Amino acid sequence: MDEITYKSSGVDKESGYEVVERIKKHVKKTFTPNVLSSLGSFGAFYRLPTGYEKPVLVSGTDGVGTKLKVAIMADKHDTVGIDLVAMCVNDILCQGAKPLFFLDYIACEHNDPEMIEQIIQGVAEGCMQGGCSLVGGETAEMPGMYQKGDYDLAGFAVGVVDEERVITGKNIASGDNIIGLASSGIHSNGYSLVRKLFFEIGGYEIDDILTETGRKVYEELLVPTKIYVKSIMPLIEAGLIKGMSHITGGGFYENIPRMLPEGKCAVVDKNAMDRPPIFDVMAKLGNISEKEMFSTFNMGVGMVLCVDEKDTQRALTMLQEAGEDACLIGRIEDGERGLILK
C-alpha cells in the first residue's frame, strides 16, 4: 500500500505556500504605518491611531453570498473581493466609524493559487478604496465540504470612532432630510433571486449580451459593490450626519428604518434617483411587484443619509464634489417607526 499523505487526502500544502507568495504584493499595498506585523504571523498587530479622546472600536462581518456562483460561472474572481470589503466597511461606516483594518476568510474545495490571487487582489483593492489595511486572513482547503470549483468568502472589518461622534440616529427629528447616494448596480444582495431570474426564467447564458444595458450578463451581475468611505468620512468629521443606512439585504423597507428612533418615519420618493436599467430588467423577467423589488434590492440607492435641513445643501455639495451621484430623496416625519414609499 502506498504511503498516505495529507496531499493524497486532498490538501496540497505546497499550493498554500504558493498562494502566500502570490498575494504578498497585493496585501502590502494596503499597509499603513499603523500595521506592526507582517503577513504570515500568528496574529496581526495594529496601533490605534491618535487624535481620539475616547476611541470606540466598531466591528462588522459579512460575506458575498451567492454572487460567488456568478463569479464561478464566469471564471472571473477579481471583483468579489471588493464586494467582500464593501459589505463590511459600509456597515461600520453607518455608525460613524473610520475603517482601520480588515481580515478575510476563503474556504474552498481545492486551493487554486491563481484564483485565490485574483480574489485577494480584489480584497486589497477594496481595502484601498475603503482606506483600511488588509492585515491577515485564512485560506481553508476543505475537500469534501465543497463541490469542485466552489468557494466561499467571509470578511471582518474593524473601525474607530470617538465615543461622542458615534452615529446612532437618536437625534433624528421631524423635518430632517434624507439624502440618497447612487449604487453601482445590484451590489451583493438578492443573488439567489437574481440567478433564478436570469439563468432559470430568462434562460440567459453567462456571456449573453443584455440589450437593455449593452453589457454581457456576467459584466452586469459582477459590478462590484460601491464603497462609500472616502466620500462620506468628511461629512462625519464635520458632524453633518444624524443617521445612516447601508441598503443591503432587505432593501429599503428593512434598512432605512434601522437608522430611525421610535416615533419617526421616513417618507421617501421612490423616483427621486435614477434607477439603473438592470432593476427593470429583473422586475420584468419575474413579473415582480414593486414592493418586492424595494424589499429585496437597493433599486439604485446604495447608501442613505439623514441630515438636518439647514445642513442639506452643504452635505449635497460635499458629496457631489467627492464624485458621488447624490440627491434629496425624502424627509423625516412624526409617526410609527418605519418607511413610507411614495
- Grid cell, residue 274, equals 435614477
If you average pLDDT over residues 228-255, what whole number do you get?
97
- Dihedral sign from CA coordinates of 305, 306, 312, 318: negative
Which CATH number, 3.90.650.10, 1.20.1250.20, 2.40.10.10, 3.60.21.10, labels domain 177-341?
3.90.650.10
Question: Where does the chain show beta strands of DSSP type E?
Answer: 55-63, 98-108, 133-141, 151-162, 177-182, 209-210, 215-216, 241-246, 264-268, 301-307, 326-334, 338-341
- Model confidence over 127-186: pLDDT tens digits? 999 999 999 999 999 988 989 999 999 999 999 999 999 999 999 999 999 999 999 999
C-alpha 310/C-alpha 78 separation (Å) is 42
Digit-coded pLDDT (tens) for 289-323: 999 999 999 999 999 999 999 999 999 999 999 99
Which are the contacts of 219, defined by CB distance < 8 A and separation ≥ 6? Answer: none
Contacts of 235 (CB under 8 A, 6+ apart): 241, 305, 307, 315, 318, 319
Q: Are 58 and 97 in contact (CB under 8 A)?
A: yes
Residue 9 has pLDDT above 70, yes or no: no
| Domain ranges (residues) in the chain | 13-165, 177-341
- pTM greater than the 0.85 cutoff: yes
Per-residue confidence band for 6, with pLDDT thresholds at 50, 70 and 90: low
Local confidence band at 12 (pLDDT 50, 70, 90 cut-offs) = low
Distance CA 157, CA 6 (A): 33
Cα–Cα dist 251/261, whole Å: 19
What is the torsional sign of CA 91, 258, 303, 233?
A: negative
For the ranges 61-65, 138-142, 330-334, which has the lowest average pLDDT? 138-142
**Segment 78-126, tens digit of pLDDT:** 999 999 999 999 999 999 999 999 999 999 998 899 999 999 999 999 9
Enter the CATH code of domain 13-165: 3.30.1330.10
**What pLDDT is recorded for position 5?**
59
Closest CA to 139 of 113, 101, 102, 100: 113
Per the prediction, the chain carries an average pLDDT of: 93
- How do strand 55-63 and strand 151-162 relate by DSSP bridges? antiparallel
How long a stretch of residues is the chain? 342
**Confidence class of residue 223 from pLDDT cuts 50, 70 and 90?**
very high
266: cell is: 421616513
What is the predicted pLDDT for the residue at 42? Answer: 82
Average pLDDT over residues 235-247: 97
Residue 2 has a pLDDT of 63
Q: Is the pLDDT of residue 45 over 60?
A: yes
User: Residue for cell digits 439604485?
Assistant: 300
Partners of residue 209 on adjacent β-strands? 216
pLDDT at 277 > cutoff 60: yes
Q: In DSSP terms, which residues pair with 137 in a beta bridge?
A: 104
The residue-averaged pLDDT of 253-279 equals: 95
CA dihedral 50, 56, 61, 62 (to 10 degrees): -90
Of all residues in the chain, the percent with pLDDT exceeding 90 is 83
Query: What's the pLDDT band for 11 if we cut at 50, 70, 90?
Result: low
Measured CA to CA, the distance from residue 80 to residue 287 in angstroms comes to 28
The angle formed by the CA atoms of residues 215, 62 and 16, to the nearest 5 degrees, is 85
CA distance 86 to 132: 11
% of the chain beyond a pLDDT of 70: 94
Q: What are phi and psi of 108, to 5 degrees?
A: -145, 160
